[in-house]
Amino acid sequence: MKEIKLALVYRDMWQAAGKYVPTVDMLTKVAQPIVDMGCFARVETNGGGFEQVNLLFGENPNISVRKWTQAFNDAGIQTQMLERGLNGIRMSPVPKDVRKLMFKVKKLQGTDISRSFDGLNNPQNLALSFQYAKEGGMIAQGALSVTHSPIHTVEYYIKLADSFIDLGAEEICIKDMAGIGRPASIGKIIKGIRERHPSIIIQYHGHSTPGFSVATSLEAARNGADIIDVGMEPLSWGTGHADLLTVHEMLKDAGFSLPDINVNAYMQVRSLTQSFIDDFLGEYINPRNRYMNSLLIGPGLPGGMMGSLMADLENNVKSLNKWLTKNNRPNVDQEELLLKLFEEVKYVWPKLGYPPLVTPFSQYVKNVSLMNVINMYKDKKRFAMIDENTWGMILGKSGQLLGELDPEIKQMAADQNREFYTGNPQDLYPDELDVYRKKMDEKGWDYGQDDEELLEYAMHPAQYEAFKSGDAKKKFESDLAKRREAKNQPAPAAESNQNGSSVNTMPKELTLNVNGDKYNIQISYPTETAQDNVKVQAPPIEQLNTPAASNGVAKYILSPLEGKFYLTKETSEKAKKVGDQIKEGETVAYIEAMKVINAITADTSGTIAEIMVNHGDEIEEDDQIFKIV
């Protein structure tokens, strides 16, 4: 009877469900009951977006990791983290010295295993991860990011595992982040790796999103996997992972040997996890993420990003409907936008060279697709807006794409004078620890135990500064209060008509005065029927954006989406100023939205007469940014 082990991906369970992870007090409360369950050889404790989201709600992630891993360290249960190779534990590339310090710090904080993956499956980007992990005392696990395309074949993945092992990987993970790896194919990949490397540990990680993961877990075990990652209620299934109870019983029935589950401890962990959801984390979990969706077989979007995707879509729907209402067009709902997005991902993905749909490249493909869908609603062309992060991928600044770029994308690069890069991506990002040491010295900030605060600042500079200032905590508390208030908001007051049916007594009509012109607005409420949707009689956007005093001479560059406005994306760049001449198609500023930087291009030529927003301001779609004469 072959022994097989289980790993609880407690960190990823939360990331796949929503935006935030539990606080340090929550994590330390649930740690011992997880140990007491007695069935886990490993627990995923940190990595991925864990530390960024800690900072976002105003908590020190270094304290969190140390306290959270302690119970598992004491019990002899291995802890593991997820890291993104060139991107470390953030969404953008990280200098070498910061990457090296990360592995040293994480081991000292109590993390045993580094699961390292590259979004393009580029071995070149993972060589340093394997080297630095081992130098820091961690186990170096190389993860194959599984996707399904004409070029991502069984043979491709077997050879990729060979290259990772040659570069120093001590274990291999089959990282099926979208759960779209077909069970038989995953079995063949694992069997091929096992035949070539009989003694290496192989771990299978699969999300349950489209429904393959239970069958795939069995195929993985039968073909030589040593460890299977699982989730557990109330965060299993959906965009999360196959449930512990199901996988455990299935493997036992198939003849595998594995420890029994302490049911009392299981129920305690389940109850505590639900209490964390009830406390505040549920406010950031979209109910759709709790369901499996076979429609995701086509676009192959990963479970780990579906939480943030659904949060983004809430804002995108609101923003798009504002535009549609202004232009007297029917509104859309989230379901319609989501289905159009799925179809657009299938169209866009091959044109971008088939990057594996894993962080951060799944976000890039999703963002381009979403902007395409939104722009097509507005009668604009596809690819009217490609963010700067995606351009970096296209141009080779994260490594070479496995697939061929579409000629249309190549022509766009040529038209915008963008150059392709064929060197080592790491060379583009010089060491920075001394820069952050100097900044911390100037601010009087301590480097922290084992330089962990220095690492945090260098890895997540903007989030760390917001954490230190207290702004992050204030913003989080304000957002949480708004969400709770909205959830508890009573329905509009109603009275009964003569037939006994409910009649809304709230205002049905308002008159809006814009530059002296009056416009009649019809108002509807959530309790009303679909045909009563908001209808706004408003002038065209151009008329609203042209002050009467200009006599139509002035033009305005509008924000193409909502987000944070920046005049430059890096300190070496020269910001536009009043009096500058600009040409149509020229990049004039940037917006940070959906975790990426988007260039704002001029749709007109002329002279900048006024910059109407400040660097760092939060702006809405269609806000006036530049006045052009």
pLDDT digits (tens, 9 = 90+) for 266-278: 999 999 999 999 9
Domain assignment present for residue 560? The answer is: yes
pLDDT at 180: 87
At a CB cut-off of 8 Å and minimum separation 6, what does 103 contact?
Answer: 114, 129, 132, 133, 135, 136, 138
Helix boundaries (H) for 259-333: 263-279, 303-326
pLDDT in tens, 145-175: 998 888 899 999 999 999 999 999 999 999 9
Least confident of 42-56, 487-501, 527-541: 527-541
The predicted pLDDT at position 546 comes to 38
Question: Taking 90 as the threshold, does the pLDDT of residue 491 lie above it?
Answer: no
| Contact (CB, 8 A) for 392 and 86 | no
Q: Is residue 524 part of a domain?
A: no
Nearest Cα neighbor of 6 from 200, 212, 242 is 242
pTM of the model: 0.78
Residue 619: per-residue pLDDT:
86
pLDDT category of residue 18 using cuts at 50, 70 and 90 = confident
Taking residues 189-215, report their average pLDDT: 96
Task: Walk across the sheet containing 509-514 and list its strands.
Answer: 509-514, 517-522, 535-536
Of 342 and 81, more confident: 81
CB 23 within 8 A of CB 14: no
Strands 227-230 and 5-8 turn out to be parallel
CA distance linking residue 296 with residue 280, whole number of Å? 28
Please give, one letter per residue, the 3-state secondary structure of 577-600: CCCCEECCCCEEEEEEECCEEEEE
- In CATH, what number is assigned to the domain containing residue 587? 2.40.50.100
Among residues 234, 263, 290, the one where a domain terminates is 290
Residue 345 located in a structural domain: no
- Residue 311 has a pLDDT of 66
Q: CA-to-CA distance for 331 and 322, rounded, in angstroms? A: 8
Residue 391 in any domain: the answer is no
Once rounded to an integer, what is the mean pLDDT over residues 605-616? 90
Q: Is the pLDDT higher at 52 or at 433? A: 433
Asked whether the CA dihedral 265, 271, 272, 277 is positive or negative, the reply is: positive
C-alpha distances (whole Å) from 188 to each of 179, 192, 202, 563 are 16, 6, 13, 45
Q: Last residue of some domain: 242, 267, 290?
A: 290
**What is residue 209's predicted lDDT score, i.e. its pLDDT?**
87
> What pLDDT shows up at residue 461?
93
Question: What is the number of structural domains in the chain?
Answer: 2
Distance CA 96, CA 86 (A): 9
Domain presence at residue 153: yes
Instruction: Return the higher-pLDDT residue of 487 and 99.
Output: 99
Indicate the pLDDT class of residue 492, thresholds 50, 70 and 90.
Answer: low
Q: What is the pLDDT of residues 343-392, one digit of tens each?
A: 898 899 999 999 887 778 888 888 899 889 988 998 888 988 888 889 99
pLDDT, position 500: 46
Q: What is the pLDDT of residue 306?
A: 64
Q: Dig out the tokens for 437 from the structure.
A: 């040491």
Q: Token pair for residue 245?
A: 């109870």
Last residue of a domain, one of 233, 266, 290: 290
| Element spanning 624, H or E | strand 624-628
Q: In 3D, which of 179, 165, 121 has the Cα closest to residue 145?
A: 121
Rounded mean pLDDT, 585-589: 84
- Residue 192's H or E segment, with its range, is helix 183-196
Counting Cβ atoms within 10 Å, is residue 287 exposed (0-12), middle (13-18) or buried (19+)? exposed
Q: Average model confidence (pLDDT) for the chain? A: 86
Render pLDDT for 495-552 as a digit per residue (tens, 0 to 9): 444 444 444 444 445 554 444 454 455 444 443 333 333 333 333 333 333 333 344 5
Rounded-to-integer distance, Cα 340 and Cα 317, Å: 12
Please give the full DSSP string across 495-531, using - where no structure is assigned. Answer: EE-TTS-EEE-S--EEEEEETTEEEEEE---TTS-GG
Give the distance from CA 159 to its chain's centroid.
29
Write phi, then psi, for 369 (nearest 5 degrees): -65, -45
Q: Is the pLDDT of residue 489 over 70?
A: yes
Helix ranges (DSSP H) in 444-573: 452-459, 461-469, 471-488, 541-544
Q: Is residue 351 part of a domain?
A: no
Q: Which residue has the tokens 């809006």?
A: 512
- Say which amino acid occupies 207: H
The torsion angles phi and psi of 535, rounded to 5 degrees, stand at -130, 115
Q: Is residue 422 part of a domain?
A: no
Structural domain that includes position 623: 540-628
Mean pLDDT of 230-249: 96
- Residue 67 banded pLDDT, cuts 50, 70, 90: very high
Does pLDDT of 618 surpass 90? no
Q: Is residue 26 part of a domain?
A: yes
pLDDT in tens, 74-116: 999 999 999 999 999 998 899 999 999 999 999 999 999 999 9
CATH number reported for the structural domain that contains residue 45 in this entry: 3.20.20.70
**Lowest-confidence range among 61-70, 435-444, 570-579?**
570-579
